[in-house]
Structure 1
């Protein structure tokens, strides 16, 4: 069911949501969060489709904020809010409200969104494109427990990582980091099968691919060894090669779907490592609403430090009296290379 509202208010939108639920006989209970999608008209359809697919796992109220740039001075001066309310099969699992902001309303998007948030439920803000430099200080970002960006959509993706590191606030995350979760899992699993130390690493992938840089920074940060970033034709990440005291370990994916894991002294194994859709990435991010400390640690390591010798890297923090945290020691195992874990919604 769809309800179109022209030159409306947040109050009228809430009434339309209640009207729609009553018309189809669906209660508001069962939604676990509010997902705010901030995008432009060009990317709104794809972003909403991905969010609807992810809502099968995470029933939610989806608020799509589209800022419409008017060409004429008269239209720019006219403040207006149009909305499209979707419930039932048109909204995936949950509810959807597409908000189109005109004129001065664009500068006060938080005032439009705030009355539409689900009460007593987490808020996640996602920028598929054109993310702010500091998401935590953005007017809409301040409303959220989690803020999701996508560095891959930036004009200069690798340079954008430095800006993300400088502005990082607990609760920030990026889909370029989410894309490498399977790679981190496989690398950790491979190191769990050997009893040796890693001496150097090479991460191979497309040029200007921020996921490749993040994977390299994560490995350098956790292993404290030189990590070299090499360029391939893709698609995406294509290989991770680790030199160890027991021989080479290679995870090679040439076609973007199936990878080969090679460990010295063991037969080669084929492992599924396909490139995932945006809906799968968003669904993974919505599984955890706490700060991702592993992402923060890798991000702040810095692109410029890749390839540095082990001796030039700062020492890992030592255990303090009464502290349950400890620094990883060689040989490195999955216990010292944490992979993103699921958390309660």
Structure 2
């Protein structure tokens, strides 16, 4: 069910949501959080689709904030809020409200969003594109327990990565980091099997890949060895090589959904390591809404262990 509202208010949008639920015979919806997506028209469709797919695991109210760029002087001086309310099958397992902000109201998106948040429920803000330099201090970001950005969506990801280091606050995370979860799990399992001290490491990827850089920094922090960055022609992260006194531990995925794991003294084996869809990444991020300490460690890289308390620093056989 869809309800279109023109030149509306947050109060009228809330009434439309109630009316929509009653019309469908489901006045009480078991939603667990509010997802705020800040995007543009070009990326809105894909972002909404990803959020709706993720809502099958995490029923949520999704608020999509689109700030429309005014083309005429009249548009720039006028202020208007249009909304598209979706409930039922048109909104996954929750509710979706697409908010289009014009004129002066676009500078006060937080005032529009605040009355639409689910009461007593966590808030997550996701910027698929054009994330602020300091998400925690952004007016919308300040409403959230978790703030999701994506370094893959910027022109200079490694430069922006340094900005993320400087502005990090508990609750920040990035989909470039989320994409590494299968790699991190496989590396941890491989080192548990190898039971050998790591003395060198290398990460292979396409140039300027933010996930590869975060992975290299995480390995430097956890293993306390220099990590070589090697540029390859393959997509995203293509291989990780860990040198040990027993031989080399290698995870190699030049292309496709399968990777080859090689351990010293053992036959190579093939394992699943696919590139996951955005909806899967968002669903993973919504499973935990506390601070992502591992992301903070990866951002700081080799400097992370300098701040670790005695007893918290790990040896070079585990990641």
Instruction: Tell me which interval the TM-score lies in, with the shorter structure as reference length.
Output: over 0.9
Q: Is the 8 A contact 2:194 2:264 kept in 1?
A: no
Structure 2 counterparts to residues 35-46 of structure 1, below 5 A: 35-46=35-46
Give the drift of 1:264: 1.1
Q: Is the 8 A contact 2:305 2:313 kept in 1?
A: no
Task: List gaps (5 residues or longer) in structure 2.
Answer: none
Question: C-alpha offsets along residues 265-307 of structure 1, whole Å, 9 cap, x if unaligned?
Answer: 00101000000000000000000000011110110227xx8xx
How far apart, CA to CA, are the structure 1 residues paired with 2:23 and 2:306? 62
**Scaled by the length of structure 1, what TM-score is found?**
0.90
Q: Displaced runs of 4+ in structure 1, greater than 3 A?
A: 313-318
Give the drift of 1:121: 0.2
How far apart, CA to CA, are the structure 2 residues paired with 1:39 and 1:104? 18
Give the drift of 1:316: 6.9
Q: Is the 8 A contact 2:123 2:146 kept in 1?
A: yes
How far apart, CA to CA, are the structure 2 residues paired with 1:62 and 1:316? 38
**CA separation of 1:144/1:315 partners in 2, compared to 1, >3 Å: closer, same or farther?**
closer
How far apart, CA to CA, are the structure 1 residues paired with 2:227 and 2:72? 52
**CA separation of 1:70/1:315 partners in 2, compared to 1, >3 Å: closer, same or farther?**
closer
**CA separation of 1:175/1:24 partners in 2, compared to 1, >3 Å: closer, same or farther?**
same
Question: C-alpha offsets along residues 161-195 of structure 1, whole Å, 9 cap, x if unaligned?
Answer: 10000000000000000000000000000000022
What is aligned with 1:31?
A: 31
What RMSD over aligned residues (CA atoms) do the two structures have, in Å?
Answer: 1.3
**Scaled by the length of structure 2, what TM-score is found?**
0.98
What is aligned with 2:157?
A: 157
What is aligned with 1:328?
A: 314
How far apart, CA to CA, are the structure 1 residues paired with 2:81 and 2:140? 17
What is aligned with 2:207?
A: 207
Task: List gaps (5 residues or longer) in structure 1.
Answer: 306-312, 320-324, 338-345
Q: Is the 8 A contact 2:179 2:276 kept in 1?
A: yes
- Name the SS for the 1:63 alignment partner: strand
Corresponding pairs, count: 319
**CA separation of 1:157/1:200 partners in 2, compared to 1, >3 Å: closer, same or farther?**
same
Question: C-alpha offsets along residues 177-218 of structure 1, whole Å, 9 cap, x if unaligned?
Answer: 000000000000000002211011110011111000000000
How far apart, CA to CA, are the structure 2 residues paired with 1:99 and 1:318? 46
- Name the SS for the 1:109 alignment partner: helix
What is aligned with 1:13?
A: 13
Question: C-alpha offsets along residues 207-241 of structure 1, whole Å, 9 cap, x if unaligned?
Answer: 11100000000001100001001111121110001
Q: Is the 8 A contact 1:250 1:261 kept in 2?
A: yes
What is aligned with 2:173?
A: 173
- Name the SS for the 2:48 alignment partner: helix
What is aligned with 1:322?
A: none
Give the drift of 1:99: 0.2
Give the drift of 1:318: 4.7
Structure 2 counterparts to residues 202-281 of structure 1, below 5 A: 202-281=202-281
How far apart, CA to CA, are the structure 1 residues paired with 2:306 and 2:116? 48
What is aligned with 1:134?
A: 134
